[in-house]
Amino acid sequence: MRSDASGRGGNWDPRRLRAELEADQKLYTHRDIDHALYPEPDSSFYSTWIYHRLAVLESIPLECRAAGTRVIDVGGGKGRLSVLLSRLGLVCCSVDLLYQDTEAVTPLGQPYASLLMEHLRSSGVRAIGHDFYAEGLPVPDSSFDLALCTEVIEHLPNSPKPLLEDIHRVLHPGGFLVLSTPNAGSMSKRITALRGRSTQADIRDFYHKRADLPGSAYRGHSREYVCGEVSYMLENAAFSDLQYETIDYGHRCVRQPNS
């Protein structure tokens, strides 16, 4: 197979990337790298998850696909994107408060954070446990060529302003940000609202999760945005040359470019 940064048949071929993601998911499952309190859902979730990750990977500019590209994955969670990008030769750093959770355990009772950190480090990913929203990103200015912030800003307890400004700080001039977040104005949510149903998380999840963990922060979506709001926030955080698109993962990743 030809080694290539962009074309089909190369390292970034969507078919190859999908196979890599699926293999990694099996590895995480085999090693029981999962949070006992927030286990990942069934196979239908993984199907959507795969399309989402492929869309994020496809959004990475060609300029950032070369070996040695410095990447920071803000709110990287399990770090599966960083693990894959590291395998492709990029230099990845994943930052998440999750890595500091010393009380978390896997469904089998193993220390979750340490197990996850060990896996990331053995995969060549620099993993930093840090509250990047409250305390900022613990890295110097202009340290990275590319920042990923995927499915993060909807979870923040308040405005994304400080985080977006800090991401801009750690990117070198001309660097890139790939950001994804649920679309509050999606057609499926409009139809749901017209039917008189909530577009928020299931009330049973919201109600009982908070009761299970008194005093803890809600881990669901605090606020979802429409495209115009995301553009407004990015422009105010000094990002330029914005491009965005909406994707319907429920219909096999149908893309709708937006000007």
* Model confidence at 238: pLDDT above 90: yes
* Model confidence at 5: pLDDT above 80: no
Q: 79-83, 176-180, 214-218, 219-223: which has the minimum mean pLDDT?
A: 214-218
On average, the pLDDT of the chain sits at 86
More confident residue, 196 or 212: 196
* Model confidence at 163: pLDDT above 50: yes
More confident residue, 79 or 36: 79
- High-pLDDT (> 70) share of the chain, %: 85
Q: What is the pLDDT of residue 107?
A: 87
Q: Is pTM beyond 0.75 here?
A: yes
Q: What is the pLDDT of residue 3?
A: 36
Domains annotated for the chain, with CATH where assigned, are 14-258 (3.40.50.150)
Chain segment 119-141, per-residue pLDDT in tens:
999 999 999 999 999 999 999 99
Chain segment 20-59, per-residue pLDDT in tens:
998 998 888 888 888 887 776 555 556 678 888 999 999 9
Chain segment 95-123, per-residue pLDDT in tens:
999 999 888 899 889 999 999 999 999 99
Q: What is the pLDDT of residue 256?
A: 53
The average pLDDT across 228-246 equals: 94
Q: What is the pLDDT of residue 158?
A: 93
Q: HEC states along the chain? A: CCCCCCCCCCCCCHHHHHHHHHHHHHHHHHCCCCCCCCCCCCHHHHHHHHHHHHHHHHHCCHHHCCCCCEEEEECCCCCHHHHHHHHCCCEEEEEEHHHHCCCCECCCCCEHHHHHHHHHHHCCCEEEECCHHHHCCCCCCCCEEEEEEECCHHHCCCCCHHHHHHHHHHEEEEEEEEEECCECCCHHHHHHHHCCCCCCCCHHHHHHHHHHCCCCCCCCCCCCECHHHHHHHHHHCCCCCCCEEEEEHHHCCEEEEEC
* Model confidence at 236: pLDDT above 70: yes
Q: What is the pLDDT of residue 218?
A: 63
